[in-house]
Amino acid sequence: MINILIAGYHGFGNCGDEATLQAMTVNIRDMAGDVRITALSYKPELTKTEYNIESVQRFNAMQVFKAIRQSDIILSGGGTLLQDGTSTRSLLYYLSIIKIAKIFRKRVMLYANGIGPVNGKINRRLIKYVVNGVDFITLRESMSAKDLEEIGVKKPEIHITADPAFTLKPAGDERIFKIFLDEGIPLDKKIVGVSVRNWNGSYGKDYIEKIAGVCDRLAKDGKTVLLIPMQFSKDISVSDKLMDIMKEKSYILKKEYTPTEILGIIGKVDVILSMRLHTLIFAGVKRIPMAGIIYDPKVEYYLDVLDMPSGGDIRTENIDENKLYGCIDDIFNNYDDYVLKLDEKVRVLEKKAHENDIFLEKQLDFIRKKKTGG
């Protein structure tokens, strides 16, 4: 039996990170029957129940230390773990796990990682020192490879793949229609799904007001506006604010749902407007045309790769309500063209997402040979 330890941002209720973990566990089990999977989690009991894997409390040093020692390979990922935009503390946490694993001579793979931003000089040196010691790297974006190259990471083999969430399967239609019924969301009109998050940058301070204005115009056009909180604990308040500002009627998911349920819900809308990366990825999986609002390079990257429109970049400009409305209006007016283009792009990304596990299988083969003396 090969013991796999997954170290990521899990158990915090972020639908994107939970989708990544779910996709990883499903794909690994489909690939290999001789594995035992454990994940570090803020809520280990919930993680055990949701994904039928082992889990330990990520902030219990003794449990983490023991899990590393008992593992054969540590998967750092997916998601953007190696960055100091959130905090240096977060970066040091993930680098420490990698370093401890290598001290115990465990194999380490960066699995579908995003990298950056990393602005601190000392932090960049630490990444160079630690990551040059891992065994294999897959990255979900080409810009992450450029970031690692500029930091000075050269030794491990690096491959650009795609986010594991592109391989996720939705919950069944019966469950999804029940959610729409329970939440009181009508299905008799075209639906625009809207996913927003908090933003405190220099630009875009009135972004919620501008998005609310666009949603009002869409509602007046006869569309149903559905607000979709992706990290429920953080997104529900800003979604409620948007709803309160709107003059027209809108709807909101009032309960927290699993990644497969959110994927299924997104599959029933007609167009997505989102700031959240994994809302865009989920829309891609279900071939739902989308417009994004850029607040982070990863959002910009996937909009470019999917060849879907941006309604504005709030890192550098205020939201133009007419431009944003125009993006969505153009999607509705040229719907089949957008779907066709999206299908072509996503097929490539789905294949690339599965490459994460093809490369992982090679690591598992190395471990099997070592265990058997081959």
Phi, psi angles (nearest 5°) of residue 60: -95, 100
- For residues 37 and 4, give the distance between their C-alpha atoms in angstroms, rounded to a whole number: 5
The 73-82 sheet, strands edge to edge: 54-57, 35-41, 2-7, 73-82, 107-115, 136-139, 157-160
Per-residue pLDDT of 294-317, as tens digits, reads 999 999 999 999 999 999 999 999
Residue 79: both structure tokens together: 């998601």
Q: Which residues of 58-84 are buried (b: 16+ CB within 10 A; e: fewer)?
A: beeeeebeebbeebbbbbbbbbbbbbb
Per-residue pLDDT of 95-109, as tens digits, reads 999 999 999 999 999
pLDDT value, residue 374: 64
Domains 2-160 and 173-347 share a fold: yes
Confidence of residue 205 (pLDDT cuts 50, 70, 90): confident
pLDDT value, residue 202: 67
Segment 221-239 shows an average pLDDT of 97
Which tops the pLDDT comparison, 201 or 196? 196
Residue by residue, DSSP assigns 247-315 as SS--EE--S---HHHHHHHHTTSSEEEESSHHHHHHHHHTT--EEEEESSHHHHHHHHHHT--EEEETT
Which CATH entry fits the domain spanning 2-160: 3.40.50.300, 2.130.10.10, 3.40.50.2000, 2.60.40.420? 3.40.50.2000
- pLDDT higher than threshold 80 for residue 203: no
pLDDT value, residue 282: 98
- pLDDT higher than threshold 70 for residue 68: yes
The least confident of 49-58, 74-83, 286-295 is 74-83
Architecture of domain 173-347: 3-Layer(aba) Sandwich (3.40)
The least confident of 64-73, 110-119, 194-203, 263-272 is 194-203
Per-residue pLDDT of 56-66, as tens digits, reads 999 999 999 99
Task: Extract long-range pairs of 232-236: CB within 8 Å, 24+ residues apart.
Answer: 232/13, 232/15, 232/256, 233/12, 233/13, 234/197, 234/198, 235/195, 235/196, 235/197, 235/198, 235/276
Enter the pTM of the model. 0.95
- For residues 288 and 315, give the distance between their C-alpha atoms in angstroms, rounded to a whole number: 26
Per-residue pLDDT of 157-181, as tens digits, reads 899 999 999 999 999 999 999 999 9
Instruction: Report domain extents, the chain.
Output: 2-160, 173-347
Residues 6+ apart with CB under 8 A from 90: 81, 83, 84
Residue 310 CB-density burial (10 A; 0-12 exposed, 13-18 middle, 19+ buried): middle
